A and B are shown apart, each in its own frame.
Chain A
Amino acid sequence: MNSPSLDAAIAPETPSVTGKLLPGDFAVWMLILIEISTFGLMFIAFSGMRAYERDLFLAGQAVIHPIAGLINTVALLAASGFVAQGVLDNRNNKQQRAATLLMAGMGMASVYVVVKLWEYWQLGSAGYGLSGDHFFMAYFLLTGFHFMHVVLGMVFLGIMARKLLRKAYGPDNQAGLESGACYWHMIDLIWVVLFPIVYVIR
C-alpha cells in the first residue's frame, strides 16, 4: 500500500510555535490530558497495591485470561491503524474508503467488546466481582473504566463514518475527524499500559 507520510498533516487548528498545526481541536487535547492523567494515577495505585499484596495479585493474575488480553490488545492496535489510515484517506479526498476503514476499526473494537464481556462473564460466573479482593476490585475498576471509553469511542467512530459517507468531512474540514481519531488513539495508548501491568508482568 502506498501510504502517505503522516508528517504531511495539514490541520486547520491552532498553529504551534514552529508553525506546524495541531491535529484536531485543542479542547479534545485537554480532555485527553485529563483522561491519561487519571488513568496514570490509577496505574500507579494498582502497581502500589501490587507491591504490598504481591501474592494476592499473582493469584488474581493466574485467574484472569492473558490470551484474552493479548487478543484485545491486537484488536485495539489494529483498530487504531485503521482509524489513522482513515484520517489520511480523508485528506486525500477518499471519503468512501476512509468511512470503510473507520467501520473496520469499529469491527476490531467489537472484537475487544465481545472478548471483554466474555471475560467478565467468566469471572462473574466463578464468583469474582468488584466486591472481591483488592486485585479484582482494581481489575474491574481499571478495565471497566477503560471499557466504557472503548464503547464511547465506537460511538464516535460510527458518527464519523456516517459523516464521511455524507461527505461532511474533507481535506478542508477535518478537525472533527482528527479529534475523534485522537480520542480513539488515547484509548489505545491507555490499553498499551494497562495490558502489561494487569495481565503480563508477574
Chain B
Amino acid sequence: MSFSVPLISAALILMTIGSYALAEQSTASWASAVILLFVAIKGYLIADGFMELRGHKRMLRYAMVLYCPLLSVIIWLIVRQ
C-alpha cells in the first residue's frame, strides 16, 4: 500500500472535523474513546505517511507510530475515572 499526500491530508482533516462534531453531540465516555481512536489513526498517518517512516524496521519508527495510540490509551484511562 502506498500513501498519497492529498489523500492523507483529506483523511486527517475529515477525522478532525468528525471528532469536533462528535464532541458537540455527546460527552459520553464512548465519544471520548472514539475521538482518541481518531487521534491514534491520525498519529499513524502522520508518522508513516508525512514523516515517511513506513517500511523502516527501526525502533524510531515504532516509537513514532505508537506515540499517539499509547498516549491515547493512557489519556483515556485517566480521563474516564
Contacts and interface: CB of A to CB of B under 8 A. Distances in A.
Interface string B50-81: 11111111101001100110011011001101
A17 B58 contact: yes
Nearest to A197: B75
Nearest to B58: A16
Interface of A: 1, 3, 5-9, 11, 16-18, 20, 22-23, 29, 32-33, 36, 40, 43-44, 47-48, 50-51, 66, 70, 73-74, 77-78, 80-81, 83-85, 87-88, 178, 181-182, 185-186, 188-189, 192-193, 195-197, 200-202
Nearest to A67: B20
Given A3-B6, A29-B60, A70-B17, A77 B12 contact: yes
Describe A's contact surface by its main secondary structure.
helix
Nearest to B81: A51
Interface of B: 2-9, 12-13, 16-17, 19-20, 23, 27, 32, 35-36, 38-39, 42-43, 46-47, 49-58, 60, 63-64, 67-68, 71-72, 74-75, 78-79, 81
18 contacts: A5-B4, A6-B50, A7-B52, A20-B55, A20-B57, A33-B63, A36-B64, A44-B75, A47-B74, A77-B9, A77-B13, A81-B9, A84-B49, A185-B51, A189-B47, A192-B46, A201-B23, A201-B35
